[in-house]
Structure 1
């Protein structure tokens, strides 16, 4: 069995991957802030307070000066800036060359989903039985919790506690007369086909929330919050709190409380094929604590376990176990939903709201789910490859420049994605003039205001102006979106930096500065 280990110190998680590596989870408040890197780059911005740029030539010169700084000697830059109002190119640098987009891939996935599925599309999660309960409330056979990819089956949109969506389903079963189940609780994820991980993901992503396994039956973003607190006395075990608490995750706690003032060293290890979480290290008595978001293995089984626990808390006796069924199981034992009875169901928020969550916080799991739902709804197979077929056909239909472009996942976590600034601008331009353009634009982070841009570009003309999608992987930083100039001209841009092995703060500051330049541009 393969296992891996990561060592972390301090209270917050390390910077996350595939968006900004430490994302702010907007409504759960789980402390995965982006301050590690992004909070330090405001003072480093140079040039935004200078006089407005009045000609394209001045803009080109200032951009070239920025890109020639010593810290970018080995960095590859791809830039394309166009006027949406006049269809004129203002800046172009390697715009037709291929770059790793990181989370700029989410622009492609959410655009295709919005067009192909429509803004009112909703995900439905159902509970099926073979026979209705008898007069005693007995259900003979399995109770099937069937997922269709709802990415928000969690406390992010449902108030009242971690098991709220399952309590709602359990309450519906009780109202339908269910009192006792003589069978298993089956978490069915067979709506999706293929592996739960993306092509080109790295193994050291998989323990953390941003590399969570993809399932048609996902709950709480397929991770648990691990919260550590020091014990009362030196030598006491560190206190461990899991949210959501569940029997699905086993904790082996070897971490101990150390003397006040000593360094904190905490190690977490979760096997790639299990849910045994081992915690080691020391935490000083005066520590503020430690928090991490650890992905769970086999999400459908996790969901079935939580649902079984919710049923029991509602007074329904369950004689069977929590089990899971995927597409391979259903090839051997097909499930004909037309022959089943739906006793309970919940529906998600509309897609127009979901892509806002997805793009604002750069949620990898939601993007991967959406990719597979596209495959299921448009191509009849809920696989990543069929979803990518939908994306490719969509780009061809809108006339995007796709020569050489290679799409390998929906979130940008894959290191095998290759796109161009030109293709990205083509996509953004098309979406701007589409009837769903306002929904799409409003899903993007706003500089200095929210999402992954909340702490960036504050105090500059770009604040409250730039709407753009961020992207971050090792050595990769991207930003693509919309900005309005000082003269009110609307611009679309895509800026991609690859092979940057220097300080992340330098390149992030440069991206911010480039946006500020565009916002102050006063030329024609």
Structure 2
């Protein structure tokens, strides 16, 4: 694995967002109202290509304007697929290569989240339990191992706890203390055997695995299975920079090979974590006036980090553990989960409902949470014991898609998040999914979980000052040579539209791809005609 430069944005779609975001309402013009052709404001940033100032007023003009964007010389190397359909009439307004299998990037999350809402319901909660062979005696002594059994809860993370690294674990430790536990004569065990299979999905590239968006998948996850890395310059030239992590933990070794340079010097940093190790090497230079560098670096064996931090939380409450801190995975149990029928549940913590977690998946495009949801689908609804949790989850998603009218010829699925380079879908299949979810009993939950142009999530800084802002709700997707956007818009005439745009194999920088897609979304939102 090679050194990674200071910009871990290669397959990343946005900065980490730590709190759930409240979606803004979508403005909708009254059906049947007469709306004059509006002037399209040009976005103040470069995230949207400049478009002609007058909105398209006929379907023919809309098609011509979309083609004008797609036929730019900068997009000549790209594979393009686009489809736009009216939710009100069912008419197709634009279609190009709609049946072509292309990489969806994070548009794959639409499929996983939709299946989870349908199969598990928005009220589903992930449960983490602490088990013991017996209850503590009158003195508070519990004889035997204290086992923490994870079931894929993503919410032991700062984004669910107002940026606090310790709150969730402190609450869990408080429950254990409230059960009367004062001393554990045994080990503290982190049991992640609820899921089976490798910690990574097929098709994930080695360069992704260093960063939080390629973090290991574990039934006992903590802090997005990553450490936040903070690098700050020293006071004097020649001094080492300060390197700290959040949360602080002795489980990870930091090798600091940095130096502080004179003011105005260009930043040069490298961050490297060998695959499978918990050693992070930081090398390079920061100027004295550099505001500092922050990144989120994935860790190995996150279940061990979970129980290590939990042990500290228990010790802060005066609980003594005489044994070791260790973990157990599915392989150690022969592929079978923990048998809890003979154990006593000492404490239990439940996650926020899936409706909230769906927003924390789709808005910031969180890969780990999506994979936890996929494996939960497989673990709770899968029927083939020979399959891993991920494989079973993909089968559950496939069954849901058949019901949604998305045939198996429209999808090749290797993971839940779209980080796999082996994922392929069609824009036609994506449109069918979005149309199905528009009519679904949980349609409002699904829509509310999507990023809103110019407002939040990965669309927060895109399409501002255009008819798409506050209107378009859509899922972004970004990989090395891939950009995608699929979702909903209300036209200037008040017609409800659904669209999907895929650009693949485009070697030029990401900004060209994004601005082209955004220009199409703005045209759709500004369309003043009717189908």
Q: TM-score, normalised by structure 2?
A: 0.92
The partner residue of 1:421 within 423, 427, 438 is: 427
The partner residue of 2:497 within 484, 488, 491 is: 491
Per-residue CA distance 1:283-332 (angstroms, 9 max, x = gap)? 22222111111011111111011111111111111112211110011128
Sort the Cα spacing of 1:84 and 1:332 in 2 relative to 1 into closer, same or farther, 3 A. Answer: closer
Distance in 1 of aligned mates of 2:66 and 2:359: 31
Aligned residues of 2:82 and 2:427 also touching (Cα < 8 A): yes
**TM-aligned CA deviation for residue 127 of structure 1:** 0.4
**TM-aligned CA deviation for residue 176 of structure 1:** 1.5
Aligned residues of 1:184 and 1:318 also touching (Cα < 8 A): yes
Per-residue CA distance 1:202-243 (angstroms, 9 max, x = gap)? 000001010000001101111111101111222222111110
The answer as to 2:431 corresponding to 1:431 is no
The partner residue of 1:131 within 121, 134, 150 is: 134
Distance in 1 of aligned mates of 2:447 and 2:20: 24
What residue is the counterpart of 1:25 in the other structure?
17
The answer as to 2:152 corresponding to 1:149 is yes
**TM-aligned CA deviation for residue 4 of structure 1:** 3.9
Q: Which runs of 5+ in 2 are unaligned?
A: 22-42
Secondary structure (helix, strand or coil) at the match of 1:337 reads: coil
Per-residue CA distance 1:129-187 (angstroms, 9 max, x = gap)? 11111222111111111100111112222358312122112111212211111211111
The partner residue of 2:205 within 185, 202, 205 is: 202
Sort the Cα spacing of 1:262 and 1:334 in 2 relative to 1 into closer, same or farther, 3 A. Answer: closer
Aligned residues of 2:20 and 2:160 also touching (Cα < 8 A): no
The answer as to 2:482 corresponding to 1:476 is yes
Aligned residues of 2:44 and 2:465 also touching (Cα < 8 A): no
What residue is the counterpart of 2:78 in the other structure?
75
The answer as to 2:402 corresponding to 1:386 is no
**TM-aligned CA deviation for residue 516 of structure 1:** 0.9
Sort the Cα spacing of 1:72 and 1:369 in 2 relative to 1 into closer, same or farther, 3 A. Answer: same
**TM-aligned CA deviation for residue 401 of structure 1:** 4.0
The answer as to 2:349 corresponding to 1:357 is no
Secondary structure (helix, strand or coil) at the match of 2:349 reads: strand
Distance in 2 of aligned mates of 1:45 and 1:351: 33
Secondary structure (helix, strand or coil) at the match of 2:257 reads: strand
Distance in 2 of aligned mates of 1:46 and 1:235: 45
Aligned residues of 2:194 and 2:337 also touching (Cα < 8 A): no
Aligned residues of 2:99 and 2:410 also touching (Cα < 8 A): no
Residues 401-410 or 457-466, more deviating: 401-410
**TM-aligned CA deviation for residue 126 of structure 1:** 0.5
Residues 451-460 or 328-337, more deviating: 328-337
Q: Which runs of 5+ in 1 are unaligned?
A: 30-39
Aligned residues of 2:193 and 2:336 also touching (Cα < 8 A): no
What residue is the counterpart of 2:8 in the other structure?
14
What residue is the counterpart of 2:282 in the other structure?
279
What residue is the counterpart of 1:121 in the other structure?
124
What residue is the counterpart of 1:186 in the other structure?
189
Per-residue CA distance 1:16-66 (angstroms, 9 max, x = gap)? 415x1x33424399xxxxxxxxxx983363454522212111111111111
Residues 198-207 or 264-273, more deviating: 264-273
Give structure 1 regions of 4+ aligned residues with deviation exceeding 6 angstroms. none
Distance in 1 of aligned mates of 2:512 and 2:336: 55
Aligned residues of 2:103 and 2:504 also touching (Cα < 8 A): yes
State how 1:308-387 maps to structure 2 within 5 Å: 308-331=311-334, 335-379=338-382, 383-387=389-393
Sort the Cα spacing of 1:160 and 1:27 in 2 relative to 1 into closer, same or farther, 3 A. Answer: closer
**TM-aligned CA deviation for residue 264 of structure 1:** 2.2
Aligned residues of 1:200 and 1:415 also touching (Cα < 8 A): yes
**TM-aligned CA deviation for residue 5 of structure 1:** 2.0
**TM-aligned CA deviation for residue 334 of structure 1:** 6.8
Secondary structure (helix, strand or coil) at the match of 1:403 reads: helix
Per-residue CA distance 1:323-362 (angstroms, 9 max, x = gap)? 1110011128973201111111110000111101110100
Count how many residue pairs are aligned between Structure 1 and Structure 2.
506
Per-residue CA distance 1:56-83 (angstroms, 9 max, x = gap)? 1111111111111110111111011111
Residues 463-472 or 312-321, more deviating: 312-321
**TM-aligned CA deviation for residue 263 of structure 1:** 2.6
Distance in 1 of aligned mates of 2:368 and 2:44: 28
Distance in 1 of aligned mates of 2:380 and 2:209: 27
RMSD in angstroms over aligned alpha carbons? 1.8
Distance in 2 of aligned mates of 1:49 and 1:14: 35
Q: TM-score, normalised by structure 1?
A: 0.93
Per-residue CA distance 1:231-276 (angstroms, 9 max, x = gap)? 1222222111110001211112121222223232222111111101
Distance in 1 of aligned mates of 2:495 and 2:378: 38
The partner residue of 2:161 within 158, 162, 180 is: 158
Sort the Cα spacing of 1:161 and 1:23 in 2 relative to 1 into closer, same or farther, 3 A. Answer: closer
What residue is the counterpart of 1:251 in the other structure?
254
Residues 328-337 or 89-98, more deviating: 328-337
What residue is the counterpart of 1:97 in the other structure?
100
Distance in 2 of aligned mates of 1:196 and 1:332: 14
Distance in 2 of aligned mates of 1:303 and 1:172: 16
Aligned residues of 1:16 and 1:23 also touching (Cα < 8 A): no
